[in-house]
Amino acid sequence: MRIILIVVSTAILGLTACVPPQPQQNTGTNSSLNLKSSPTPSQARQVELPADVSEIVTSITRLIQAGQNMQSARTGNLKECGELMRKYRKEIEALEPKSEALPKLYSTYLHPAVIELKTCTSCSPNAFEACIRANTNLADLTNRLLER
């Protein structure tokens, strides 16, 4: 599966905050990460990612969403939170060497995002902020790809 990033100039939309990517259902076609705004064709540009990078971006995006969804367990049911944390930790540990081994253009942004996922999917009171930082790494990669 490949991911095509649809990137939108933040200057055109006047966005100042990072918008978390939303997980998408696998429809058998190319998937994409979208900003929540609907750009016109003149505002959008597609960037195709290599398959290995696409796989890691998909996993990071899903884990960011999972971490954000853990907020109620963090504040209410610590047993459930701990179970979720252990479940996601195994997947994150498997992503670490993969993200680090990518070409520098991608590893510079994706490996730190994977590291942030450890806290994002934890029971820490700072977990949600770590999810935001992981998402910021994805946004920074998008911006870097736009510069090319």
**pLDDT (tens digit per residue) in 77-122:** 889 999 999 999 999 999 999 999 999 999 999 999 999 999 999 9
Residue 38 pLDDT > 60, yes or no? no
Q: What is the rounded average pLDDT of the residues 38-58?
A: 74
Per-residue tokens: 30: 């190319």
The whole-number pLDDT of residue 44 equals 58
Contact 39, 85 (CB under 8 A): no
Predicted local confidence at residue 36, as pLDDT: 35
pTM attached to this predicted model: 0.71
Q: What is the pLDDT of residue 34?
A: 38
Q: How far apart are CA 37 and CA 58, in angstroms?
A: 20
The DSSP bridge pattern shows strands 3-8 and 44-48 to be: antiparallel
Q: Do 138 and 33 contact (CB within 8 A), yes or no?
A: yes
Task: List the domain range (segments joined by +) for residue 114.
Answer: 3-147
Instruction: Provide the domain count of the chain.
Output: 1
